[in-house]
Amino acid sequence: MNNLRFDNTFIRELPGDSETGSRQRQVHCALFSHVNPTPVAAPRLAAHSAEVATLLGIATESIDTTHFAQVFAGNTSVEGMQPYAANYGGHQFGHWAGQLGDGRAISLGETINAAGERWELQLKGAGQTPYSRSADGRAVLRSSVREFLCSEAMHHLGVPTTRALSLVATGETVVRDMLYDGNPRAEPGAVICRVAPSFIRFGNFELPASRGEVPLLEQLVDFTIRRDFPTLATSDHKGEALYAAWFTEVCERTAEMIAHWMRVGFVHGVMNTDNMSILGLTIDYGPYGWIDDYDPDRTPNTTDAQGRRYAFSRQAEIAYWNLSQLARALSPLFDDHDALHAGLERYIDTYTAADRRNIAAKLGLGECRDSDVKLMADLHRLLHTAEVDMTLFFCGLADVDSTAARLTVLGDVFYDKQKQQDASPAFNDWLARYTARLSTDLLSATERRALMQAANPRYVLRNYLTQQAIERAEQGDDSGIHELLDVLRRPYDDQPGREAYAQRRPDWARNHVGCSMLSCSS
């Protein structure tokens, strides 16, 4: 690891807090605070991503060493690391929450790999920072396993995301009241190291804007464009036109990200503006969930069970709302606000186009006609009322052809026998419409299957699978994490012998804590 090369531009080029240490405070006119991780008792590497290690140029031999676990627990550092916590604000559940900041995340620095790519390393659960707001700065094993696995699963699914290098068990416990019902208990703790080109969030811009710190806001925007949007930085755009082009690109990337979530059945669960990456990456895996039986109203987050603000089908609308908050924060930099409105319009256009691409690919059509939008909407309604597994249905649909357009071809995709029976005629009608549509399509049967198989994953990180891996890890057996990580390396492929990972959610998991119900307590 001594070959890691650091170039810490964020803290070098931007203003920081003059006070160091973790005393909790409001930090004005500064975008970060220097703070060191707090060492843990007995770090032990529980899992790592070989792909991310390779990306960073970390040699395989150094991974299983005590030194590696010590570094990625925050107990020791390597040359070039300059730990800091970022200062940002955010809108939480629709309300401005003021200063939030990295309360338990500590960035170690920005590495430059052999290919010249910049990858920031960030520990999560590494101890208190000035932004911990009286919380402990730690993370429990269960939430760390969830973030570690989902980051990598999303990457292999082709969804823009932050990555995860390592999962280190701390040998310490952390007290959490998991369901906020007055039953705190000590749970094993962990630290993950997550990795991304940038961890800048919408909230990084919102905080200085909310305080009228316009020069600081402008400095951050200029820095972000220069470091994280190099193609724009070297384009012909200057001044306000450059800012407009940048905001538009943020809108486009966000739209593409949400369309991917909808394609694979991912519910983020806490789409607060402090959890929205400026690069359009999925970030901050908390009480997220995966759709088993198709339900547009599904939210795994118990804190959101009433309002369902962040339910599956609302994600595109919420991302727009979040982008509007970003636009508002950026408005002091614009004389002409039309540019910001145009960016938001671009979000709608990009999302609409991506949604139509999803429809065509998921149904295996050479193009998405207006009538196909209706075909898909009708299907979604059917999947919902009949309680059908989203992932299995779309995989099975690839096997349907005009000669075998019967429901039985799809296999075991229903959760409720009665609903299956009731919905059978409607499904057969829908399949007849679908096969009629196929007969007018441009694609050959082979092309159609290839398109569908590349868009419809067979293996997703079903909540209950992660929960099983967590329960084993809490007993000291990490192999469930390793197996899941491995299965999810090839989510679109048939993996003979691994059918157990591509089945309906079992009945015990329907209303089980950690499977259908997750809290923000982590």
Instruction: Enumerate binding residues for Mg ion (CB under 5 A).
Output: 275, 284
Inter-axis angle of helices 370-385 and 417-439, to 10 degrees? 170
For residues 136 and 378, which CB has a smaller minimum distance to ligand AMP in the complex? 136
Q: Which two tokens stand for residue 15?
A: 């203003």
Q: Does 132 bind ligand AMP (CB under 6 A)?
A: yes
The interface partner of residue 137, options being Mg ion, ligand AMP, none and the CB cut-off 5 to 8 Å by kind, is ligand AMP
The distance of Cα 242 from the centroid of its chain, to the nearest Å, equals: 28
Among 83, 89, 137, 343, binds ligand AMP (CB under 6 A): 137
The phi and psi torsions of 173 (rounded to 5 degrees) equal: -105, 160
Q: In the complex, what is the shortest distance from the CB of residue 453 to ligand AMP, in angstroms, rounded to a whole number?
A: 35
Measure the CA–CA gap between 454 and 456, rounded to whole angstroms.
6
The interface partner of residue 293, options being Mg ion, ligand AMP, none and the CB cut-off 5 to 8 Å by kind, is none
User: Using CB under 6 A as the criterion, what x/- string covers residues 264-283 for binding ligand AMP?
Assistant: ------x---xx--------
Contacts of 196 (CB under 8 A, 6+ apart): 119, 120, 122, 162, 163, 277, 279, 281, 283
Q: Which two tokens stand for residue 145?
A: 């396993």
Measured from the Cβ of residue 401, the count of other Cβ atoms closer than 10 Å reads 13
Measure the CA–CA gap between 321 and 315, rounded to whole angstroms.
10
The percent helix, strand, coil of the chain (3-state, each to 5) is 45, 15, 40
Residue 389 is a catalytic residue: no
Give how many residues touch ligand AMP by CB under 6 A. 17
Query: Angle 450-456-458 (CA atoms, 0-180°, nearest 5)?
Result: 105
The interface partner of residue 142, options being Mg ion, ligand AMP, none and the CB cut-off 5 to 8 Å by kind, is none
Q: In the complex, what is the shortest distance from the CB of residue 91 to ligand AMP, in angstroms, rounded to a whole number?
A: 12
The interface partner of residue 520, options being ligand AMP, Mg ion, none and the CB cut-off 5 to 8 Å by kind, is ligand AMP
User: Using CB under 6 A as the criterion, what x/- string covers residues 78-117 for binding ligand AMP?
Assistant: ----------------------xxxxx-------------
The interface partner of residue 132, options being Mg ion, ligand AMP, none and the CB cut-off 5 to 8 Å by kind, is ligand AMP
Measure the CA–CA gap between 68 and 45, rounded to whole angstroms.
8
Contacts of 408 (CB under 8 A, 6+ apart): none
Q: In the complex, what is the shortest distance from the CB of residue 274 to Mg ion, in angstroms, rounded to a whole number?
A: 5
Q: Does 222 bind ligand AMP (CB under 6 A)?
A: no
Q: Does 135 bind ligand AMP (CB under 6 A)?
A: yes
From the list 1, 21, 147, 140, the residue with the least C-alpha distance to 83 is 21
Q: In the complex, what is the shortest distance from the CB of residue 398 to ligand AMP, in angstroms, rounded to a whole number?
A: 37
Query: Angle 290-94-104 (CA atoms, 0-180°, nearest 5)?
Result: 65
The active-site residue out of 17, 274, 355, 389 is: 274
The residues binding ligand AMP (CB under 6 A) are 100-104, 131-132, 135-138, 270, 274-275, 284, 286, 520
Residues annotated catalytic, as ranges: 274
